[in-house]
Amino acid sequence: MSKQQDRIFLSAPHMGGNEQGYIQEAFERNWIAPLGNNVNAFEEALAAYNGVAGASVLSSGTAAIHLALRQLDVGEGDVVFCSSLTFVATANPILYQGARPVFIDSEPATWNMSPGALERALGEASDAGVLPKTVIIVNLYGQSARMDRLMEICRAYGVPVIEDAAESLGSEYLGRKSGTFGDFGVYSFNGNKIITTSGGGALVSGDVGALERTRFLATQAREPALHYEHSEVGYNYRMSNIVAGVGRGQLDVLDERVAQRRGVFERYYDAFGDMPGVAFMPELEGSKSNRWLTALTVDPEKAGVSHLDIIEALSAENIEARPVWKPMHLQPLFEDAAYYEHEDGWSVSDELFRYGLCLPSSSSMTEGEQSRVIGVVERLLR
């Protein structure tokens, strides 16, 4: 590895150009305090972009999930169904509330929650008289889950849905924006996401009253009194006005970022798509993935190398790549949690973890940088 080669990151922040202007606006108005014009404008723009009634911008996507659980009255001993193949931030808020997660496997067509496994799990829960308080459905790596079918199943049992679209802002399914199918939708603006506020997130919903309560809970649940009055537990979860200025600038270029990430995917697909043992994350018919990360599986028996061999070889060239998320049902934290496979004897998420990896996918990647990645992978696969 040449010492002159710059590091290629998995997913680097990519500024759009207007962020500084919005931040300067906050300084000129002296809105350095937590709330202000940027927060309001960012919420309005985010709701308009996604075609929903409203949005509440928060300190993280994790905070958004937590507040959604609070508003669905999830508490001690309750059950919450959750996608297993996800980052731990999806599942941790279940524990914050003292609830018990039950994990649902993925399906091959989307890598997201299996409708068959969910229907089986809800059927058994109904028979036992212990339906979950909610189901958290994740849209992995930008690809929408089969939200129409999953919502139909949940509605049949009267169970509300939190749609974790932390990785899929800008994606679409059946003509609707990702994150707008559930009772609540969650976005993340973490530093590695398709747009970023450094750290931040949002909760969206068609229920304006629920979003008002979100803001109330996120500002320490302060009652409307002259003095500081508090009747219930609140949190310090609101996004700051400075950070929201970054978000406004990022949202201005979201569609451009989606196009750039899809372009990165297409170049990888053109390079490796026909190689033995390589299978890219599919794009469900009727959907448009933002391709936040280019994810693929490598069968070592057919390809001659494993996904870990590729990650190691890229690392030697100062290039960051990662395995796909380790499923929650395999995590020590959740070793006692129940788990429903896609089909009896077939755990899709286990297979994806066993063979899957994510390649560098930054929207700011040059073709030269991507050629470096492709060159390393091609040498191994050929």
Report, as residue numbers or ranges, the catalytic residues: 193
Beta strands in the chain (DSSP E): 54-58, 79-83, 100-104, 134-138, 161-164, 172-173, 176-177, 184-188, 201-205, 278-280, 287-288, 294-298, 322-323, 338-340, 356-359
Contact between 9 and 362 under an 8 Å Cβ cutoff? The reply is yes
Write the DSSP symbol of residue 143: P
With a CB cutoff of 8 Å and minimum separation 6, the contacts of 290 are 142, 168, 169, 170, 171, 178, 194, 257, 258, 261, 262
Contact between 67 and 237 under an 8 Å Cβ cutoff? The reply is yes
- Size of the chain in residues: 382
Contact between 314 and 379 under an 8 Å Cβ cutoff? The reply is no
CA contacts within 13 A on the Cβ side of 306: 10
Closest CA to 180 of 146, 206, 149, 212: 206
- According to DSSP, the β-strands at 176-177 and 184-188 are unpaired
Phi/psi of residue 197, nearest 5 degrees: -120, 25
Phi/psi of residue 149, nearest 5 degrees: -70, -40
d(Cα 13, Cα 169) in Å, to the nearest integer?
A: 15
d(Cα 109, Cα 9) in Å, to the nearest integer?
A: 28
Question: What is the distance, to the nearest Å, from the Cα of residue 50 to the centroid of all Cα atoms in its chain?
Answer: 15
Phi/psi of residue 287, nearest 5 degrees: -120, 160
Amino acid making up residue 3: K
Contact between 280 and 266 under an 8 Å Cβ cutoff? The reply is no
